[in-house]
Copies of this chain bind each other. A is one copy, B any other.
Amino acid sequence: MKVKVVTKILEANERIALENRRLFDKSGVYVINLMSGPGAGKTSILEKTLSQAAGLRIGVIEGDIAGSDDAERIEQCGAPVVQINTGGACHLDANMIYEVLGELPLQDLNLLFIENVGNLVCPAEFKVGEDIKVMVLSIAEGHDKPLKYPLMFQESSALLLNKMDLAPYLDVDIEKIRRDALSLNPKLKIFEVSCKTGQGLPEWIDWLKETIMKR
């Protein structure tokens, strides 16, 4: 078996991310870049977080290739939301965020979630001006994901292992996910959650509040 390594080419968008950062700091809003592969449950976790995180004033930027399903779901929760359609691009970049910041009442918020395009690769490479990155992995995706998609695990401050209610029906080794993820990023905070049963959501929300307060 032969293994070939191809060098990657990355666009820099650091300057605009820093400009976003300046605007977030001015408004006193904490910003989380929420990432996962497709269908891992980011929007469901946001819905639960919006309904259960009493005391937090949360806004959301939704990123999708096409459609506004996710923004409509967030709007139902009563939160201010803007939908970005990337028109094909597989991740949000700092400039896309910069263009929509005027549409949100940043001064009234203490937390802004930026829900990235469902993609376990590119979103981890592009800073948008966030304080931290948080990732979601559906346990139905299998236990080989940390070692195959290392960057997102390395870049994230917290990992939500979602759809834990499916564990009895999957051949998935949760301990291997934990072990491999922590080998890539020993500081990673890991939550086992289910939006169906509610498992782990209170712990996630407590951590979220603590993280915002102690920044």
Contacts and interface: CB of A to CB of B under 8 A. Distances in A.
Interface string A51-89: 000000000000011111101100100000111111111
Contacts of A147: 66-67, 69
A2 B163 contact: no
How many copies of the shown chain assemble into the complex?
2
A129 interface: no
A148 B2 contact: no
A6 B86 contact: yes
Interface stretch (A20-28, A105-113, A134-142, A200-208): A134-142
Interface string A11-44: 0000000000000000000000000011110000
Contacts of A83: 1-4
A79 to B, nearest CB: 11
A117 interface: yes
A85 B6 CA distance: 6
A9 B86 CA distance: 10
A195 to B, nearest CB: 10
